[in-house]
């Protein structure tokens, strides 16, 4: 079913999307199709196409040549559609059932045709409303272990690894991360967006030399360490979930980077929930944090032993060294994510959506506090339990 | 004068090389040309072409599609000629006068046409014969600072840096290093080549768990850390020198890797001379070791301040962190080079050329001892003086 036709780029309409879908040989020949554009329109069109009198459906996602951010249009490479389709396919080889199936992709039109997941909900939305996702952390831990291990030098022939590094070179989208996660929030930069009540905390960050030194090291790691094919933007808004399913979507930021970045982004976004929730509701969140790391590290270890090709894989201490580095990096990257989601350009609804001013500001201060602690103490924190203890101190 | 014609690959003869040279518009139109093939014929042809009645001359280097190693022919990518030509040009932009000028290159024929340096001698040969190269360490320190700084994220726009990472993707030649420097010497592998008298020391290395753990970390760094465009094979056989000139040649192993790899390879090859020389002759070598690091680090620091574009460049401690990491990596990579040049596939004449069995074996044991110490103690050794002290302990 994989097709790649050569067309000049033009943005689809709902009618054109139906015509496009009919050419895919996905739906029965004479099906009448219904189409709705369901994206938020900022970066991509998302067309949901289904049979009027049947069960079959699919999604056509089309990248737009610009991004609408703070009311302005920024040009943004269409190549990200190719990166996204190829990352879904590559990650799907290993994280079976945890990413949408790609039916087709079209480089010229910047289109990815994929499995319809509209029966699921974005995990961030669900978590904000206390929905239960009993499989979430187990699935994400598994997804992380499978995708990161299998695309690393520990599993791939060096020729194939280096081929993938070039295939997934993604300078434009990486630069967004380099700026918005690792740089702007730590300087008095135009893109920052923080509530006036946080001014004191924000200035303290800008003037915190030791913190900035550690962020500089993390940024260097992001810029230089091609450890594995990352998702690159693994927050809870990039995950579809239900009680029984988890699907990771939207890997348009995929590139070869440090493994801890994916783990850290996911954990940071879960941690926000541990900050905002009351005692009883927090238990499940702390359990997600613990399970994510435990499932990731134990599956990674199993893969290391069963599928590792590195000559030094049985050298005493090497596996531990690798996993410890991922853990330390994870904490640092999680810290950066907590800070930028509070005072940088792109916020999270988990915090911004809290109507009560006093609570919202308190939680934001706590997000900054945890972020700073994770960055500064990441070499001393030796277990996921210590991370949980750090989070629980907020509530004492 | 840059040309890139599309020809089918065929290996040149001396006569064909003359015809090729005549097309370059380098020599006066009716010059009679003389040509000699002066390469060692293992990996490349090197044609030296000069006017019979004039001053002008040039070198045509052509990569061969195989490598003759231990009597066998291994196929080897011709792409290395493109990598070499492009690395010479890129490094030449910054290390002015320290690499040969490239006049032309031809991808199909795997040819690089460049400045004739046949008035100079290979530094390894000269050093073995106690020739004086007063500029060597200053020039190499400068070369390292200029090439490594200017091709790093500290100097380049991230789009350009990532473009270069892809351009210089060099899987086949990197694999040679991954195997022959970082893997085979530390295991009982067919490619190893060591004298029977070293069997005990060699087995001790194969059984040295802590040493292998540290080499595994260094190999991981080589595989993943795209810090700068390296030469990739910067031993003293890749350097032409005289009393007044230094030129770095043969960057066919160029790729984006950890900065300390280039610094470490050069220092390791100089260290071999400090092992083999008697007291008086050693002074100049120890001075080269000290000067290389001092000139590199002070020039790197000057470039950081004057040309650095990283937002965190003025963050207290960041420059020091970066330079300290390069130093630590340098020691580790130097240690690996010392070991592999003693017991791995590719040896150095500095050691193998010593006729006296007792002396040669002693020096080889010392090279292994220094190699191990540099790898194991690289995090504790804090200055180039401590490295020199380590080397001088051999002679007490």
Q: State pLDDT tens for residues A211-253.
A: 999 999 999 999 999 999 999 999 999 999 999 999 999 999 9
A312 touches chain B (CB under 8 A): yes
Going by pLDDT thresholds of 50, 70 and 90, the confidence category of residue B331 is very high
8 Å CB contact between B295 and B142:
yes
Interval A124-145 mean pLDDT: 98
Residue B206 exposed, middle or buried by CB count within 10 Å (0-12, 13-18, 19+): middle
A172 touches chain B (CB under 8 A): yes
Please give the pLDDT value at position A67.
74
Closest CA–CA distance from residue B332 to any residue of chain A (Å): 16
How far does CA B284 lie from the centroid of its chain? 21
What gap in Å lies between CA A46 and CA A113, rounded to an integer? Answer: 10
Please give the pLDDT value at position A72.
59
Question: Which positions 195-254 of A are in contact with B (Cβ < 8 Å)?
Answer: 209-210, 212-213, 215-217, 219-220, 223-227
Nearest residue in chain A measured CA to CA from B219: A312
Among A163, A171, A312, the residue with its CB nearest the CB of B212 is A312
The three-class DSSP label of residue B66 is: strand
DSSP lists the bridge partners of residue A75 as: A66
Interval B62-76 mean pLDDT: 75
Q: For A142-187, what is each residue's pLDDT tens digit?
A: 999 999 999 999 999 999 999 999 999 999 999 999 999 999 999 9
Q: For B336-391, what is each residue's pLDDT tens digit?
A: 999 999 999 999 999 999 999 999 999 999 999 999 999 999 999 999 999 999 99
- State whether A213 and B321 contact (CB < 8 Å): yes
**Residue B181 pLDDT > 70:** yes
Going by pLDDT thresholds of 50, 70 and 90, the confidence category of residue B5 is low
Strand B66-69, strand B72-75: pairing:
antiparallel
Nearest residue in chain B measured CA to CA from A171: B159
Closest CA–CA distance from residue B337 to any residue of chain A (Å): 18
Closest CA–CA distance from residue A319 to any residue of chain B (Å): 10
- State whether B169 and A172 contact (CB < 8 Å): no
Chain B contacts of A159, Cβ < 8 Å? 171-172, 175
Chain B contacts of A178, Cβ < 8 Å? 158
Q: What is the DSSP letter of A107?
A: T
Q: For B231-240, what is each residue's pLDDT tens digit?
A: 999 999 999 9
**Residue B207 pLDDT > 70:** yes
What gap in Å lies between CA A70 and CA A127, rounded to an integer? Answer: 26
Q: Which residues of A254-264 are buried (b: 16+ CB within 10 A; e: fewer)?
A: bbbbbbbbbbb
- State whether A224 and B227 contact (CB < 8 Å): yes
Please give the pLDDT value at position A68.
66
Interval A334-354 mean pLDDT: 98
- State whether A225 and B220 contact (CB < 8 Å): no
How far does CA A95 lie from the centroid of its chain? 15
Interval A23-51 mean pLDDT: 92
Residue A116 exposed, middle or buried by CB count within 10 Å (0-12, 13-18, 19+): middle
Please give the pLDDT value at position A396.
85
Interval A191-215 mean pLDDT: 98
Please give the pLDDT value at position A6.
54
Phi and psi, residue B225, nearest 5°: -95, 100
What gap in Å lies between CA B103 and CA B114, rounded to an integer? Answer: 5
Q: Percentage of chain A with pLDDT > 90?
A: 92
B174 touches chain A (CB under 8 A): yes
Chain B contacts of A216, Cβ < 8 Å? 310, 312, 315, 318, 321
Q: For B19-38, what is each residue's pLDDT tens digit?
A: 999 999 999 988 999 999 99
Interval B142-171 mean pLDDT: 98
Q: Among candidates B65, B337, B304, which has minimal Cα distance to B218?
A: B337
Closest CA–CA distance from residue B258 to any residue of chain A (Å): 9
A79 touches chain B (CB under 8 A): no
Q: What is the largest CA-CA distance in chain A?
A: 66
**Residue B70 pLDDT > 90:** no
Please give the pLDDT value at position B40.
76
**Residue A325 pLDDT > 90:** yes
- State whether A159 and B153 contact (CB < 8 Å): no
Measured distance between the N- and C-terminal CA atoms of chain A, rounded to whole angstroms: 56
Closest CA–CA distance from residue A326 to any residue of chain B (Å): 13
Chain A contacts of B206, Cβ < 8 Å? none
Please give the pLDDT value at position A41.
66
Q: What is the largest CA-CA distance in chain B?
A: 66
Going by pLDDT thresholds of 50, 70 and 90, the confidence category of residue A1 is very low
How far does CA B24 lie from the centroid of its chain? 29
- State whether A169 and B172 contact (CB < 8 Å): no
Chain A contacts of B162, Cβ < 8 Å? 169, 171, 174
Interval B277-283 mean pLDDT: 94
Q: Percentage of chain B with pLDDT > 70?
A: 96
In order, the DSSP letters of A126-164 are: HHHTT---TTHHHHHHHHHHHHHHHTSTTTS-HHHHHHH
Interval B269-280 mean pLDDT: 96
**Residue A73 pLDDT > 80:** no
- State whether B153 and A322 contact (CB < 8 Å): no
Interval A321-349 mean pLDDT: 98
Going by pLDDT thresholds of 50, 70 and 90, the confidence category of residue A202 is very high
Helix axes B171-180, A158-167, angle to 10 degrees: 140
- State whether B163 and A171 contact (CB < 8 Å): yes
CA angle B10, B16, B18 (to 5 degrees): 140
Among A163, A171, A212, the residue with its CB nearest the CB of B158 is A171
Please give the pLDDT value at position A42.
75
- State whether B220 and A322 contact (CB < 8 Å): yes
Please give the pLDDT value at position A70.
52
Among B163, B215, B312, the residue with its CB nearest the CB of A219 is B312
Which of A186, A224, A313, A324 should one mutate to test binding to chain B, selecting the residue with the greatest count of B CBs within 10 A? A224
- State whether A159 and B178 contact (CB < 8 Å): no
Please give the pLDDT value at position A271.
98
Q: Which H or E element spans position B246?
A: strand B246-248
In order, the DSSP letters of A269-325 are: HHHHHHHHS-HHHHHHHHHHHHHHHHHHHHHHHHHHHHH---TTTTSTTHHHHHHHH
Please give the pLDDT value at position A226.
98
Please give the pLDDT value at position B67.
74
Please give the pLDDT value at position B265.
98
Among B171, B216, B318, the residue with its CB nearest the CB of A162 is B171
What gap in Å lies between CA B248 and CA A104, rounded to an integer? Answer: 49
The token pair at A129 is 């409303």
Pure H helices in chain B: 14-22, 79-94, 123-128, 136-150, 158-167, 171-180, 199-206, 209-224, 260-276, 279-307, 318-343, 349-352, 357-376, 384-393
Phi and psi, residue B117, nearest 5°: -115, 25
Going by pLDDT thresholds of 50, 70 and 90, the confidence category of residue B1 is very low
What gap in Å lies between CA B45 and CA A184, rounded to an integer? Answer: 52
**Residue B6 pLDDT > 70:** no
- State whether B174 and A162 contact (CB < 8 Å): yes
Please give the pLDDT value at position B39.
86
Q: Among candidates A70, A56, A240, A287, which has minimal Cα distance to A143?
A: A240
Nearest residue in chain B measured CA to CA from A170: B162
Nearest residue in chain A measured CA to CA from B179: A311
A361 touches chain B (CB under 8 A): no
Chain B contacts of A219, Cβ < 8 Å? 312
Q: Among candidates A30, A42, A11, A19, which has minimal Cα distance to A250?
A: A42
């Amino acid at each position: 079913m994989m097709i790649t036709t050569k067309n000049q780029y033009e943005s689809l309409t709902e009618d054109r999307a139906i015509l496009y879908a009919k050419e895919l040989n996905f739906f029965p020949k004479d099906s009448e199709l219904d189409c709705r554009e369901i994206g938020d329109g900022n970066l991509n069109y998302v067309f949901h196409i289904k049979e009027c009198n049947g069960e079959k459906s699919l999604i056509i996602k089309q990248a737009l040549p610009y991004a609408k951010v703070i009311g302005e249009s920024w040009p943004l490479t269409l190549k990200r559609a190719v990166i996204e389709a190829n990352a879904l396919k590559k990650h799907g080889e290993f994280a079976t059932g945890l990413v949408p199936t790609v039916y087709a992709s079209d480089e010229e039109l910047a289109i990815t045709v994929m499995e319809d997941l509209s029966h699921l909900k974005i995990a961030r939305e669900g978590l904000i409303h206390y929905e239960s996702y009993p499989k979430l952390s187990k699935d994400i831990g598994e997804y992380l272990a499978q995708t990161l291990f299998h695309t690393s030098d520990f599993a791939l022939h060096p020729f194939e690894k280096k081929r993938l590094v070039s295939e997934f070179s993604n300078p434009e989208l990486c630069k967004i991360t380099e700026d918005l996660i690792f740089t702007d929030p730590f300087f008095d930069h135009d893109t920052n967006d923080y509530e006036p009540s946080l001014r004191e905390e924000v200035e303290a960050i800008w003037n915190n030399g030791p913190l900035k030194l550690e962020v500089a090291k993390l940024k260097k790691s992001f810029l230089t360490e091609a450890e594995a094919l990352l998702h690159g933007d693994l927050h809870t808004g990039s995950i579809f979930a239900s009680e029984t399913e988890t699907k990771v979507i939207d890997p348009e930021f995929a590139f070869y980077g440090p493994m801890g970045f994916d783990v850290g982004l996911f954990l940071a976004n879960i941690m926000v929930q541990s900050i905002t929730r009351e005692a009883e509701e927090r238990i499940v969140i702390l359990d997600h944090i613990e399970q994510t790391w435990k499932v990731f590290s134990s599956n990674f270890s199993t893969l290391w032993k069963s599928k590792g090709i590195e000559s030094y894989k049985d050298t005493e201490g090497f596996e531990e060294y690798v996993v410890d580095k991922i853990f330390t990096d994870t904490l640092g990257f999680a810290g950066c994510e907590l800070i930028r989601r509070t005072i940088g350009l792109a916020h999270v609804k988990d915090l911004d959506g809290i109507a009560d001013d006093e609570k919202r500001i308190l939680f934001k201060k706590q997000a900054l506090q945890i972020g700073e602690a994770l960055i500064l103490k990441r070499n001393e924190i030796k277990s996921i339990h210590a991370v949980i203890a750090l989070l629980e101190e907020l509530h004492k």
